[in-house]
Structure 1
Amino acid sequence: MKIKIFLVVAAVAMLARPALAQPETSVEVTKGTGTATVVGTATVTATVVAIDLATRTVTLKDKRGRVVEVEVGEEARNFDQLKVGDVVTTEYREAMSLSLTKASGPRSSSQRLIEQRSAPGAKPGGTIGREITIMADVVALNAKAKTVTLKGPQGNMVDVIVEDPEQMKHIRKGEQVEVVYTEAVAISITPSTNK
């Protein structure tokens, strides 16, 4: 299913264009018995310097003075609330959670869409993303390389790095594991402090 929405366009425009800004990034790792989660976040901030209401085009400028124009689709609520001087913050978050718990059943995959739009009358913004849950078979373990080879529902094979040697002790070839992958883009607008 294709999702055509301002949030994705703006995020791609801001994160994919190194000419605009270098994102601030962070990585967070959480470990527990039989589980591990890695979350990466990239944040880009820019100021609205111009708005063309007729074409729904917003011109953004980063702290280094680099400028990019973003066309805002009709899907974005409250476009008329956007003002010159407002600060646009785009946060891209990607997370992978590997649960090394024993499970049984066929290999499977499911996807859940995440979408939250701004309330009517508020500044434009919101969140869009997806969460994919996969039940995979463990087909190989390599303690020395710290990898587990998983076979997904379509038969594709993937090597997953497991840093914690204790976690490797809890899994065996032939067992199943659950992998949850989440990616989301959130855009928020902070009103200008200039009056």
Structure 2
Amino acid sequence: MKKLYSVVCAAVLSLSASVASADSATLPSKVVIDSITGGATVTAVDKANRTFTLTAKDGKAHTFTAGPEMVNFDQINAGDKVVSTYAQEMSISVNKMGGAPKVEEKERVVRAAKGDKPSIIVANSTEVTGVVTAIDQKARTVTLKGPQGKEATFPVKEGVKGFSNMAKGDNVVISYTEALSIAVVAPTPAGKKK
């Protein structure tokens, strides 16, 4: 829950820092997306003991044991590439729905089909809804009531479009999603570009 609280605080502060909006007649909203991709090469596979060694571009090698949850282990071969991508998306928006504060969490896991090279995608998403309980247009602050009933006041910077359209009872909805995908792919044959 501490991680969720820090994500919510970061989201609210990012809204107060800079918000992209079509025009001043709309309510504030913002989306931030970030991702990192990395890779390694399978340099050894021990099928009997279900272990494999990955070597990174910097030459560092690490050996891993494949647990029973790693389906299709037999499809891994030396020379295969392992590609991983970690992505985050955070959106914050204000709407006139007027619902109660709440937190919703979801997780989704997708694995490779039987017979394919091993791969997995894990995505976790959290949506937090807070309610605007007070707005001070002169001081440019907004007070939100969160799912646990606590209230906090946040400054809203001058550049935020649509702030003047916010009202007591509006919902502030913060959605945070993080996803990790790991896939084993066969090496590209020499002379062919991917």
TM-score (norm 1): 0.71
Identity of aligned residues (%): 34
Match of 1:92?
Answer: 86
* Matching of residue 109 in structure 1 with residue 100 in structure 2: no
Match of 1:138?
Answer: 132
Higher relative contact order (CA 8 A, sep 6+): 2
| Number of matched pairs | 167
CA distance in 1, matches of 2:112, 2:119: 5
- Segments of 5+ residues of structure 2 without an aligned counterpart are 1-17, 23-27
Root-mean-square deviation (CA, aligned residues, Å) is 3.2
Q: Which has the larger radius of gyration?
A: 2
CA distance in 2, matches of 1:160, 1:73: 49
* Matching of residue 178 in structure 1 with residue 173 in structure 2: yes
Counterpart among 74, 77, 81 of residue 83 in structure 1:
77
Counterpart among 173, 191, 194 of residue 186 in structure 2:
191
Query: How far off is 1:194 after superposition?
Result: 6.1
Cα 1:151–1:57 shift into 2, 3 Å? farther
Query: How far off is 1:66 after superposition?
Result: 1.5
CA distance in 2, matches of 1:37, 1:109: 19
Match of 2:12?
Answer: none
Runs of 4 or more, structure 1, over 6 Å off, are 140-147, 160-163
SS of the residue corresponding to residue 37 of structure 1 reads strand
Query: How far off is 1:167 after superposition?
Result: 4.2
CA distance in 1, matches of 2:122, 2:50: 20
SS of the residue corresponding to residue 45 of structure 2 reads strand
Map 1:41-56 → 2, pairs under 5 A: 41-56=35-50
Map 1:137-176 → 2, pairs under 5 A: 137-138=131-132, 150-155=144-149, 165-176=160-171
Query: How far off is 1:47 after superposition?
Result: 0.5
Contact kept, 8 Å, 1:51 with 1:58, in 2: the verdict is yes
Match of 1:23?
Answer: none
Query: How far off is 1:82 after superposition?
Result: 0.7
Cα 1:144–1:75 shift into 2, 3 Å? farther
Q: Aligned letter for 2:72?
A: N
Cα 1:175–1:42 shift into 2, 3 Å? same
Map 1:117-136 → 2, pairs under 5 A: 117-136=111-130
TM-score (norm 2): 0.71
- Segments of 5+ residues of structure 1 without an aligned counterpart are 1-28
Query: How far off is 1:160 after superposition?
Result: 9.3
